[in-house]
Structure 1
Amino acid sequence: MQKQDLAVLGAIAVGGGIGAVSRYGVGHLLPPVPGHIPWSTLLINTTGCLLIGVLMVLITEVWTVHRLVRPFFGVGILGGFTTFSTYAVEVHTLFDTADVVLPLVYLFGTVLAAVTAVMAGMAATRAISGVGSKSGDRV
């Protein structure tokens, strides 16, 4: 493994640790209630998607950044913070413990919230930074 690869791996590992501990903290403050929407996971994934939208515009359209910024913040912190696996388990658990409507609302609502959050983060960052303000530019 090359020295550059080790630096990227290190940035991802440190960032991932920060993100995972942050996710644990949110889950601890807002624990899931069996048979109800797991609000902590929804909040975590939606917030993470909003922040990845902000980050990607900042580091690809606004700033020129060090090569380790994207692995540290994007893959590391936000990758460690968000959680598809917990979401999938919670959807499965809701199908076992709740009426069929609630798990379907959570299943599709999370995807809608996540995609909307990414688009909102990108649009807001572009609007605030002035990037992409020419006519014809889209989110």
Structure 2
Amino acid sequence: MNVVALVIGGLIGTVMRYELGEIVPALSGGFPLAILTINLTGCLFLGWFFTVSWGHPAIRPEIRLGLGTGMTGAFTTFSTFSVQTVELIREGHGIIAVLYVLLSIVGGLLLTFAGVRLAKARVKKEGTGTA
């Protein structure tokens, strides 16, 4: 059942990444806004989802695996982030590359923390779970 959850989640995440990549326009100077948006959104969601679902009896482990590892893992992409950073440097856009790396790392951490805080606030308000 775990493999099925991973495959279904991975399929959904892959399609979401492709579609969002098609919708979000590239910025001047080659700044990879689509992948930044995808990765930051994934950080926010994963921080929120794992906090809400942790120890919640109604959320089965297969759902956590499918949505967390499968969908979010396929949706976000460290390898594309890395390749795009190298390409920016190779094309002489060193400052944009540094900005991209900083926004990705700092933004990712901040949005993960934000997701955790949102989940904790929701759990506290509803009086459910143990976030």
| Structure 2: distance between partners of 1:76 and 1:113 | 22
Higher helix share: 2
Asked whether the equivalents of residues 36 and 98 of structure 1 are also in contact (C-alpha less than 8 Å), the reply is no
TM-score, normalised with respect to structure 1:
0.83
Displacement of 1:34: 7.0
Displaced runs of 4+ in structure 1, greater than 2 A? 31-36, 61-64
Alignment of 1:1-139 (within 5 A): 7-32=1-26, 35-62=29-56, 64-130=58-124
TM-score, normalised with respect to structure 2:
0.88
Cα RMSD (Å) of the superposition?
2.0
Q: Greater CA radius of gyration, 1 or 2? A: 1
**Unaligned 5+ runs, structure 2:** 126-130
Identity %: 29
Displacement of 1:36: 2.5
**Unaligned 5+ runs, structure 1:** 1-6, 132-138
Asked whether the equivalents of residues 51 and 121 of structure 1 are also in contact (C-alpha less than 8 Å), the reply is yes
| Structure 2: distance between partners of 1:111 and 1:56 | 19
